Structure 1
Amino acid sequence: MNDLILTSFEEMVSTYKETLKNIYPARGSTGFTEANQVHIYTNSLVNTLGDTDAVSWLEFPWESKKQHIDSLVYSPKHQAIFYIEAKRIYSAKKKVEMINDIKRLYHSNRVFLQEHGITQYNSEYIIALSDVWLEKKWQKAIPAWWCTADRIPEQVKLWEQQTGKSLMPTDITIHDELITMDWDQSRPFAYWLGETCNNVKNYCLLMASLKIS
């Protein structure tokens, strides 16, 4: 499954590349709504799973009737469920919201899934999606916050060579802030879109996955 999740991230990146090479889908700002990342990644994951019976649903009802998660993918073939949450990191507040969204996915009561007809599964995965523009000092520390400094992909580090700027260190990572959730066992992903898309020179996609059962 780890290979499939990696492939799904690569397919999402490919979709972003093809889109951003041709258009800039924003007006007067450097930002894209997180709904697009949820939509693109959900489609990428479903395609990668190779399961004709796989289903997906955006804004899936969660434990409380007032709560929803950004997306859910269920694969009968793999007997796996994927809980997907996304948050654009354009302020420190959004980092906190991302952490809270991930914590919410650890809810131990899964009875509500049966209420929605999902009964045959033996594994569950959290997929966290995000993006960041490497512009301000605190934003340049997000790759280290998300991946940890020693796990930042070499491809992302190319941003330093091509821009003459530097990624910043961080005293605390998302793994530290989710230590009780075993987030240090998650697999972080990151990709700098500016390498091939000149109109988003400082744009970086982020993803992380963790098997929780």
Structure 2
Amino acid sequence: MNTKLSVNINKVALIRNARGEGFPDLVKFAVDCEKFGAEGITVHPRPDERHIRYSDIPLLKEVVTTELNIEGNPTDRFMDMVLQYKPHQCTLVPDAPDALTSNQGWDTVKYGEKLKRIIGRLQDAGIRVSIFVDDNPEMIIGAEAAGTDRIELYTGPYAAQFSSNPEAAVNSYMLTAEEAVKRGIGINAGHDLNLENLTFLIKKIPAIAEVSIGHALIADALYYGIKSTIQMYKSKLH
């Protein structure tokens, strides 16, 4: 199974917002990412809309032809928006309102009943659901009970340890992924993945269906251009 690349375009929106103008054109950028080989577009609107704005969502829904993945904490506002525009996938992330970036997965045992209700609403609307989880096999048991379609492995700790000890960095993720496969849950991965650590992760966990990459990919595009960068990342997935 080839792992799909979903490009997170939050940083493009952040650059746009810095001048209060419409440049770079976020919608055109998403279309071009698909044209250059991306197999999905990911956005993560936050309460302060410091990058992706809620008003971006209907525009992106109109043009994204691969897969639109909307991430976020399932607040009432977020849920209303997702249920209105029905992306292909919704990834639930337990972000605090003031979080700079995602930094932990769900405690699927503690929040199991809450997640089950939310997941059910999204699935009833025809939306595939993924929930952000840490590298802990016990969290997969709760994820299964909540009824999620997929989990997204929070790979921040993997990336932090990768350069010093790759095998140790990936071990707990392999165990978590094995538990997900055993229970019939699909696997995504994301956070701090880059050209150096991506291939190793995929080789160790070939069941990963999709990676969502934003910060590193957009930073690399400053040097290589977005077309070349997307191809470079895709080459690391096969």
Do Structure 1 and Structure 2 share a fold, with TM-score over 0.5? no
Which TM-score bucket, shorter chain as reference? 0.3 to 0.5
TM-score, normalised on structure 1? 0.36
TM-score, normalised on structure 2? 0.34
Identify, as 1 or 2, the structure richer in strand.
1
